Amino acid sequence: MANIELDGVNKKIKVDSGDLTLDVPGDIILDADGGDVVFADGGTNLLKVTNSSSDVVLQPQVDTKDIVFKQYDGTVVATVEDNATFNIPASKLAIGGTAVTSTAAELNLIDGGTARGTTAIADGDGVLINDDGTMRMTTVQTLKTYIGGFDVSSITGATALTDTPAGTDEFVLSDNGTLKRIDFSLMQNTPHWEVGLSSDQGIPNSTMTKLQFAVDRKNASGSPDYWDNSNYRTQNLTAGDYFAYLNLTFEGNAGSSTAYILIKRYNSSNVEQQSSGKALDQWTKVGQYHGSIFSVASGDYIAYELWQNSGGTVTQLYEANDGSLCFGGGFKIA
C-alpha cells in the first residue's frame, strides 16, 4: 500500500508509488496567489499557466518544444510551434461549421510569399479565381482568351450617346502605351469666336485703325467669353495654334489707292505676329477676305485692323440684317 507523506518543510505532498487521485464531491480549485500554476515531470518544468492582468497565458517551459492539441484517438488537431506558428493539419480547418478546403498556397494568394513582385505579367503566370466556391488557379493566357482583348466587338457601351459630347465627357487614349483620359473639350476647335460691327465704321486716311467688332455672331460668348467687346480683341485664349479670318466690304473714293487688312497677334511686348491682305486698287464697294494661322501663347490676344491711303475717310460697311458685310472670327486648331 502506497504511503502519502506531507513534507511541511519543503511544502510538498509525496506519494512513494503509483498515482495520486483527488476525488472530491465538489470542484478542485487551484488557488495560487503568485499567479502561476506549473506542470512538471521529474523536477523539469514543462508548462506554466500564468495570470497576466486576468488574461490566461499558456507557456511551454522547455525551449524549442511545442504545444500539441490532440483528439482522443491521438490525431493532432493543431500545434503551437516553437517558431510561433499555429499549424493546422490539411483539411482540418472549418469556419462556422464549413470546412475550408483551400490549400495553404491558395490561402496565401500569392505563391511564394505575400510580397508583391514587379515582374511583368506573362501568359503562363497564375491567376487565382473562385470556381463556384472553390478556389482554383488558372493562367493569364486563359483569362485573356476568355475576355477577348480590346477590340471593337468586345468593347461596347451600355448606353448609346445620342447627342454631341459635352466638353467634360472623356475619351480613353493610349499615350505611348499608357491609357489616359482626355476631355472632349481638348478635341474641339475651342476657344472660337466670330464677331461683327454694330454700325458702319469710318477708317481715317493713313491711320492703322482697329475694327470695332462688338456683336457676337457665332457662339463667341459663354463661359469663358473669348471676345472683349470693349477693347475689340480676343481674350482668355489658351496656348496653341489658331486660324483667324477677316471679311470686309468697304467703299471709298475711286482712284489710285491701296488698303490693307491686317490680323495681328499681340503679346505683352506688343505685336508678335501679323498677317495682311492687300485690297484691290481703285475700289468702290469692294469685298476682301483674309485668313492665316497664328501661334498663340497664354495671355496673347488677336485683333483686326485696317489701313488705307485713299486721301480721305473710308467707310467700313455694316449690314443690318446679318452683319455679313464685315466680320472677323477664329478658332483653336484641335
| 196 in Cβ contact with 215 (< 8 Å) | yes
Cα–Cα distance for residue pair 126/22, rounded to 1 Å: 60
Highest mean pLDDT among 26-30, 173-177, 277-281, 324-328: 26-30
- Residue 115 confidence (pLDDT): 58
Span 87-103, average pLDDT: 80
pLDDT value for 283? 53
Question: What is the arithmetic mean of pLDDT over 32-36?
Answer: 89
pLDDT of residue 230: 92
The per-residue pLDDT for range 287-316, each reduced to its tens digit, is 778 889 999 999 999 999 988 887 888 877
In the structure, what pLDDT confidence band is assigned to residue 207 with cuts at 50, 70 and 90? very high
pLDDT score of 132: 83
- Whether the per-residue pLDDT at 168 is higher than 80: the answer is no
Task: Mark out the alpha helices in the chain (DSSP H runs).
Answer: 104-108, 140-147
Does the domain at 192-332 match CATH 3.40.50.1820? Answer given as no
Residue 263 has pLDDT above 60, yes or no: yes
Inform me whether the pLDDT recorded for 196 exceeds 80: yes
Q: What's the N-to-C CA distance of the chain in angstroms?
A: 109
Cα(270)–Cα(136) distance, integer angstroms = 71
List all residues 6 or more positions away from 163 whose beta carbon is below 8 Å from its beta carbon.
none
Q: What is the mean pLDDT of residues 163-172?
A: 76
pLDDT at residue number 272: 73
More confident of the two residues 1 and 37: 37
pLDDT tens digits, 213-260:
988 887 665 667 899 999 999 999 999 999 999 988 766 554 557 778
The answer to whether 327 touches 251, Cβ cutoff 8 Å, is: no
Boundaries of CATH 2.60.120.40 in the chain?
A: 192-332
Question: Rounded to an integer, what distance in angstroms lies between the CA atom of residue 146 and that of residue 127?
Answer: 13
The per-residue pLDDT for 89 is 86
Judge whether 307 and 240 are in contact, CB under 8 Å. Answer: no
User: In the prediction, which pLDDT does 160 show?
Assistant: 73
Lowest-pLDDT range of 75-79, 110-114, 132-136, 228-232:
110-114
Nearest in space to 290 (alpha carbons), one of 301, 280, 300: 280
Q: Alpha-carbon Rg of the chain, whole angstroms?
A: 46
Is residue 234 a contact partner of residue 227, using CB atoms and an 8 Å limit? yes
Whole-number percent of the chain with pLDDT over 90: 23
What nine digits make up the cell of 129? 479565381
Q: What is the mean pLDDT of the chain?
A: 81
pLDDT in tens, 53-83: 999 888 899 999 999 989 999 999 889 898 8
pLDDT for 191 equals: 87
* Residue 128, pLDDT above cutoff 90: no
Is residue 150 predicted with pLDDT exceeding 60?
no
Instruction: Report whether pLDDT(27) > 80.
Output: yes
Using alpha carbons only, give the angle 287, 290, 295 rounded to the nearest 5 degrees: 160
Asked if the model's pLDDT at residue 326 lies above 80, the reply is yes
The whole-number pLDDT of residue 303 equals: 95
